[in-house]
């Protein structure tokens, strides 16, 4: 059985996904409440994996809770914290729990997070993790041993349309597609023309493109993104627009809507990152839903 996300993408539909960060603790009531606001709004909800190298509850547990709650998850899985045994074990666990969508990531470095004394693993990178997923889908583990029960994962990978130089990014994306990536979920897009060029360039790879939309909640956040997140530069005019607004989060919603309208012809869906303001996602996506 394939996931609803896979079915819709392969049928040529325009998919809507969003991101909800699991809690730093074992009380998942708020996590489920935030995800519940997205029921009927998005096709799937991404569950992050110790995002920014900050320790949180297991994404596999959180994804399983979403699935049991009737919300289709996209399980993010990073190579930072696990060797190949643990990665395969978690993947098989996901399959046993009915989780099909996987976003394979290398992971932010330990030095960015809240446990800087930890030892990073990086036994595999994102390309090798995709290869491992493809191997499991083929009925064997990385040691060549047959599996008792074969998973059917729909695997995706991250992409950065606004990275410079793009040639280096394209080389890595070609490797990801060859390793089994079926969709690219991009970093935040602020320049529609760059997404158009990106999509036209990667189309021959046969991989769907889900464009990232970051809700800019304030001018301060826009400045922080530009100064601290590699590969992301918020256009100065957007920062100025936010700074001049009486209600900056509301203006951020308007900017997100505008970006979605501009990029829609060049992608197969959008992925909204609201950074704790999941309550605003329905407003961001309302016009997309009304347009079908």
Band (pLDDT 50/70/90 cuts) for residue 292 is low
pLDDT exceeds cutoff 80 at 157: yes
Residue 18: CA count within 13 A, CB half-sphere: 25
Report the C-alpha dihedral over residues 194, 196, 201, 207, rounded to 10 degrees. 120
CA distance 181 to 46: 16
Provide the β-strand partners of residue 183: 156, 208
Q: What is the CATH number of the domain that holds 256?
A: 3.20.20.220
Total count of domains within the chain = 1
Nearest to 53 by CA among 74, 27, 75, 80: 80
User: For residue 65, how many other CB atoms are within 10 A of its CB?
Assistant: 19
pLDDT exceeds cutoff 60 at 257: yes
User: Which residues span the domain enclosing 9?
Assistant: 4-290
Dig out the tokens for 65 from the structure. 């809770």
Dig out the tokens for 153 from the structure. 């994962």
In this prediction, residue 162 carries a pLDDT of: 86
Provide the β-strand partners of residue 101: 74, 154
Question: pLDDT, tens digit, for every residue of 12-71?
Answer: 999 999 999 999 999 999 999 999 999 999 999 999 998 888 899 999 999 999 999 999
pLDDT exceeds cutoff 90 at 167: no
CB 78 within 8 A of CB 91: no
Question: pLDDT, tens digit, for every residue of 187-228?
Answer: 999 999 999 999 999 999 999 999 999 999 999 999 999 988
Residue 9: CA count within 13 A, CB half-sphere: 26
CA distance 51 to 47: 9
Question: pLDDT, tens digit, for every residue of 233-243?
Answer: 899 999 999 99
User: Residue 125: phi, psi to the nearest 5?
Assistant: -110, -175
**DSSP letter string over the chain?**
---HHHHHHHTT--EEEEEEPPPSSS--HHHHHHHHTTTTT-SEEEE-SSGGG---S-HHHHHHHHHHTT--EEEEEESSS--HHHHHHHHHHHHHTT--EEEEE----GGGSS-TTSPP--SS-HHHHHHHHHHHHTTB-TTSPBPSS----EEEEEE-TT-SSHHHHHHHHHHHHHHT--EEEEEE---HHHHHHHHHHHGGGT-EEEEEEE----HHHHHHHHHHSTT----HHHHHHHHH-SSHHHHHHHHHHHHHHHHGGG-SEEEEE-TT-GGGHHHHHHHHHHT-
């Amino acid at each position: 059985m394939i996931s609803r996300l896979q079915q819709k993408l392969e049928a040529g539909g325009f998919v809507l996904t969003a991101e909800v960060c699991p809690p730093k603790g074992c009380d998942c009531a708020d996590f489920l409440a935030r995800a519940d606001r997205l029921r009927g709004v998005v096709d799937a909800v991404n569950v992050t994996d110790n995002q920014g190298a900050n320790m949180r509850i297991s994404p596999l547990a959180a994804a399983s809770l979403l699935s049991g709650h009737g919300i289709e998850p996209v399980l993010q899985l990073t190579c930072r914290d696990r060797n190949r045994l643990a990665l395969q074990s978690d993947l098989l666990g996901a399959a046993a729990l009915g989780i099909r969508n996987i976003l394979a990531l290398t992971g932010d470095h330990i030095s960015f997070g809240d446990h800087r004394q930890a030892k990073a693993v990086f036994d595999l990178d994102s390309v090798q993790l995709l290869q491992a997923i493809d191997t499991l889908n083929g009925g064997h583990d990385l040691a060549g041993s047959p599996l008792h029960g074969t998973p059917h994962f729909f695997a995706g990978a991250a992409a950065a349309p606004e990275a410079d130089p793009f040639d280096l990014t394209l080389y890595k994306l070609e490797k990801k597609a060859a390793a089994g990536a079926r969709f690219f979920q991009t970093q935040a897009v602020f320049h529609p023309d760059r997404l158009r060029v990106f999509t036209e360039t990667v189309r021959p790879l046969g991989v769907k493109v889900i464009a990232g939309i970051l809700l800019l909640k304030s001018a301060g956040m826009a400045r922080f993104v530009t100064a601290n997140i590699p590969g992301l530069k918020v256009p100065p005019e957007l920062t100025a627009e936010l700074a001049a607004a009486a209600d900056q989060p509301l203006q951020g919603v308007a900017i997100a809507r505008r970006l979605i309208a501009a990029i829609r012809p060049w992608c197969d869906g959008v992925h909204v990152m609201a950074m704790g303001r999941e309550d605003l996602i329905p407003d961001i996506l309302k016009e997309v839903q009304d347009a079908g």
